[in-house]
């Protein structure tokens, strides 16, 4: 096999620029088909992105003989079913984050992929973006000395109540949780990417504003296997007069590194001096990871983000929101 021919299930806003066009820009990769139930939106998307095959039914796409790999870009509640169907059809699978709505669903996906010797990758694409790779190299170069503490702070203003009406991201059945489940996978995955596994974790979640039924405020802490202590603080209920914050803070013996997970700068503080490194936002956020995924699917490289990798974040998220402890 010299080319991965993709079928994409779901063609919502996340695929317009972040991922969809990248499948045709990566070497040895072609987006061959797309599935959506709304016929008019499906045809419009396929025409604009020059995709030859369209499907109204996911099974038809999965089982099409010309499709080698399936990209699942739907809300998380159907990730498990589609991934397992595709794996059983001997297709490679690339799944959006969060991997699924529950840890048990993720474990099932992982188990099926392992049993079938299938290939399953999760779209934690920040692992391959220049900003986050630069942070990794700074840590590997011991720029701030031995790391002792890591913090994530995400404070966002509440949107008008109308924003949450029929919004799947705050529907527990469809999303697994609230906005925390939508955004924290990116943040927590970086913790494990940089610092290894957690040996213990606990947290709590509440709904303070009552704008929807799931959590809007989350706190959690972890003890990492290398002695690093982690704390996280997420609030999606800030008042309009309060300042929003998106901070990933790494504290070492000789200084600190700070960056926004959803921004484009790194700030290094060391020896009473501050250095700021700016990064250009990528045109297609997932392109670098998709290139690695294609290489993996072709048997020429390692899995850039396995189900086992993604399960670390899912277990911690579930513990923080639902009060489990490890």
DSSP E strands, 124-213: 147-157, 198-206
CA atoms 302, 72, 61, 118: torsion sign? positive
Dihedral of the alpha carbons of 47, 53, 55, 58, in degrees to the nearest 10: -120
Assess if residue 139 is contained within a domain: yes
Both 271 and 202 in one domain: the answer is: yes
3-state class (DSSP) for residue 34: strand
Write down the pLDDT at residue 303.
Answer: 98
Assess if residue 41 is contained within a domain: yes
Assess if residue 317 is contained within a domain: no
Give me the residue label for tokens 């984050």: 97
Does residue 213 contact residue 223 with C-beta atoms inside 8 Å?
no
Both 277 and 299 in one domain: the answer is: no
Both 204 and 172 in one domain: the answer is: yes
Rg over CA atoms, the chain: 20
Tally of domains in the chain: 2
Both 152 and 64 in one domain: the answer is: no
Both 235 and 274 in one domain: the answer is: yes
Assess if residue 318 is contained within a domain: no
Assess if residue 314 is contained within a domain: no
Assess if residue 326 is contained within a domain: no
pLDDT per residue as tens digits for the range 191-241:
999 999 999 999 999 999 999 999 999 999 999 999 999 999 999 999 888
Both 51 and 155 in one domain: the answer is: no
Both 154 and 77 in one domain: the answer is: no
pLDDT of 323 over the 90 cut: no
Both 38 and 181 in one domain: the answer is: no
Q: Looking at residue 259, which CATH number applies to its domain? A: 3.30.360.10
Assess if residue 324 is contained within a domain: no
Assess if residue 315 is contained within a domain: no
Q: Looking at residue 10, which CATH number applies to its domain? A: 3.40.50.720
Say what the pTM is: 0.96
Both 136 and 232 in one domain: the answer is: yes
Read off the pLDDT band of 325 (50, 70, 90): low
Both 253 and 143 in one domain: the answer is: yes
Residue range(s) defining the domain that contains residue 66: 4-124+285-305
Both 104 and 211 in one domain: the answer is: no
pLDDT per residue as tens digits for the range 68-125:
999 999 999 999 999 999 999 999 999 999 999 999 999 999 999 999 999 999 999 9
């Amino acid at each position: 096999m010299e080319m991965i021919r993709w079928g994409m299930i779901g063609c919502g806003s996340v695929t317009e620029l972040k991922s969809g066009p990248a499948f045709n820009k990566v070497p040895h990769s072609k987006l061959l088909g797309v599935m959506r139930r709304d016929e008019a939106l499906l045809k419009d998307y396929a025409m604009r992105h020059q995709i030859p095959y369209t499907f109204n039914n996911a099974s038809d796409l999965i089982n099409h003989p010309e499709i080698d790999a399936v990209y699942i870009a739907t809300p998380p509640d159907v990730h498990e079913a589609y991934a397992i169907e595709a794996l059983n059809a001997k297709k490679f699978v690339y799944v959006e984050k969060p991997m699924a709505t529950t840890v048990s669903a993720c474990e099932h996906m992982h188990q099926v992929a392992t049993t079938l010797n299938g290939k399953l990758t999760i779209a934690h694409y920040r692992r391959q973006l220049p900003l986050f790779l630069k942070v990794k190299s700074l840590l590997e170069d011991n720029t701030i000395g031995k790391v002792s503490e890591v913090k994530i702070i995400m404070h966002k203003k509440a949107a008008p109540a109308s924003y949450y009406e029929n919004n799947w991201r705050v529907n527990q059945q469809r999303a697994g949780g609230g906005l925390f489940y939508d955004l924290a996978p990116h943040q927590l995955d970086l913790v494990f990417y940089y610092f290894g596994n957690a040996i213990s974790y606990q947290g709590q979640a509440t709904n303070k504003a009552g704008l929807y039924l799931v959590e809007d405020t989350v706190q959690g802490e972890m003890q990492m296997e290398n002695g690093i202590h982690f704390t996280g603080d997420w609030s999606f209920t800030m008042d309009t007069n309060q300042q929003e914050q998106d901070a990933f803070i790494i504290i070492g013996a000789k200084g600190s590194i700070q960056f926004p997970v959803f921004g484009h700068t790194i700030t290094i503080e060391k020896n009473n001096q501050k250095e700021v490194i700016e990064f250009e936002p990528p045109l297609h956020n997932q392109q670098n990871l998709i290139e690695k995924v294609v290489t993996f699917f072709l048997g020429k490289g390692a899995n850039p983000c396995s189900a086992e990798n993604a399960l670390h974040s899912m277990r911690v998220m579930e513990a923080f929101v639902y009060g489990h402890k490890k």
